[in-house]
Amino acid sequence: MARKKIIAGNWKMNMTPSEAVSLVETLKPLVVNDEVDVVFCVPAIDIIPAMEAAKGTNINIGAENMYFEEKGAYTGEISPLMLKDAGVQYVIIGHSERREYFAETDETVNKKVLKAFEHGLTPIICCGESLTQREQGITLDWIRQQIKIAFLNVTADQAKTAVIAYEPIWAIGTGKVATTEQAEEVCAAIRVCIGEIYDQATADAIRIQYGGSVSASSAPELFAQPNIDGGLVGGASLKPDFGKIVNYK
C-alpha cells in the first residue's frame, strides 16, 4: 500500500494565540488536500485556540515538544496527558533546535518517543547532520546512530506508525535546501536502517519527511522522490505558501 504523504508545519516560537487563530483562518481554505495528512505543529499555548479554529477542517493541530513524564514537579514542561486531553495526535520530538538550545540528546529523544507511543501519540522524530559532519563524510553513520537510539525498545507495530523527519541542520532556516539527491539518499538510508532494526514491512510503512528550507518551488521535486513522504516545514508554514506546499502536485 502506498504511504500517505504527511506535510507538517513547524511554527517554532512564532504566533501569539490570537495570531494563531488568524493564521489558521487564512490557511484553512488553502491547505485542503485529502491525499495528504496536514499537520500544524504550534506552540503549546496556541494548541487549544488553533484546534478550535481548525474544527471541521482537514488540519491536525500538533505539538512541537513534550516531556517524558506524565506529571509532577517539572516546571514549564508539557505532559503527554495534556496533549492527549487537548486532542493532539502528532508531536515533534528532538528537533535540532531542541538539541542545540535545550540540551536534548538521543537518549532523551528515545524516552520521549517511548512515552509518546505509550499514550497513543504519533511522534515526528527529527534527525539530521551538521555541515561539518556532512563535509567529514559521516552523515549516514551519524543519522543511523540517531535512528537506532531513538527507536530503542520501540516495537515494530509502533514504529510502523511513526514519522521521521530528516532535517540537515545546515538547511534549516538558511534558505539552503538540500539537493533532491542528497535528501533522497539520506531518507532511503533511514528506511534501510529501519528495515535492519525491524523488517521490510516496517520499513515500507514508516513515513519519512524531509525538512530544511522547503518552499513552494522545491516541494514538488522533493516529494516526488520514492523515499520522501512529505515535509516538515518551518518558515514557509507561516505563509499562504504553505497551501502551495500541501498542494505540491
Annotated active-site positions, please? 95, 167
CB 77 within 8 A of CB 67: yes
Strand segments, DSSP code E, in 49-206 are: 59-63, 90-93, 122-127, 163-166
Q: Say whether residue 172 binds ligand PGA (CB under 6 A).
A: yes
Nearest to 164 by CA among 89, 234, 79, 232: 232
Q: Is 202 in the site for ligand PGA (CB under 6 A)?
A: no
Beta strands in the chain (DSSP E): 5-10, 36-42, 59-63, 90-93, 122-127, 163-166, 207-211, 230-233
234 binds ligand PGA (CB under 6 A): yes
Measured from the CB atom, the residue of 113 and 169 that comes closer to ligand PGA is: 169
Q: Which residues contact 14 (CB under 8 A, 6 or more apart)?
A: 43, 238
Stretch that binds ligand PGA, among 56-64, 145-153, 194-202, 205-213 (CB under 6 A): 205-213
Q: Which amino acid is at 76?
A: G
Residues numbered 8 to 27 that lie near ligand PGA (CB under 6 A) are 10
Query: Three-class SS of residue 191?
Result: helix
Residue from the set 49, 94, 123, 235 that interacts with ligand PGA by CB under 6 A: 235
Name residues contacting ligand PGA, limited to 38-77 (CB under 6 A).
none
Q: How far is the CB of 74 from ligand PGA (least distance, A)?
A: 25
Is 213 among the residues that bind ligand PGA (CB under 6 A)?
yes
Q: Which is nearer to ligand PGA, 94 or 234 (CB)?
A: 234
Minimum distance between the CB of residue 153 and ligand PGA, rounded to whole angstroms?
26
Give me the least distance between CB of 215 and ligand PGA, in Å please.
8
Nearer to ligand PGA among residue 8 and residue 203 (C-beta): 8
The x, y and z cell numbers of residue 246, run together, are: 500541501
1 or 103: whose CB is closer to ligand PGA? 103
Closest approach of ligand PGA to the CB of residue 95, in Å:
6
Q: Say if CB 150 and CB 112 are below 8 A apart.
A: no
List CB contacts of 186: < 8 A, sequence separation 6 or more: 139, 140, 143, 166, 168, 178
Confirm or reject binding of residue 214 to ligand PGA (CB under 6 A). Answer: yes
Which residues lie near ligand PGA (CB under 6 A)? Answer: 10, 167, 172-173, 211-214, 232-236
